[in-house]
Amino acid sequence: MRKITMAVLGFGQRGIVFSNVAKSYPDEIKLVAVIEKNTDKYDLIKREYHLDNQSIFSDYDAFYL
């Protein structure tokens, strides 16, 4: 079975839910990026979802470049 790669745009309530779904199914879904303006959330994102600084973007333009 092919693994789904996923990016989350916005880390509000829905973004957290979708990120948790990916975390719950690591064999099926890989969270590869989060786009979030609020830099206060970055440490939580890195800690909970094992993403590095290169996988967290401040806006979607930075993500697409």
65 residues of the chain, pLDDT tens digit each: 799 999 999 999 999 999 999 999 999 999 999 999 999 999 999 999 999 999 999 998 999 87
pTM reported for the whole predicted model: 0.91
Three-state SS at 41: helix
Three-state SS at 65: coil
Burial of 36 (0-12, 13-18, 19+ CB in 10 A): buried
At CA 62, angle to CA 65 and CA 59, rounded to 5? 150
pLDDT at site 45: 98
Q: What is the dihedral of CA 56, 13, 31, 54, to 10 degrees?
A: 0
pLDDT at site 26: 96
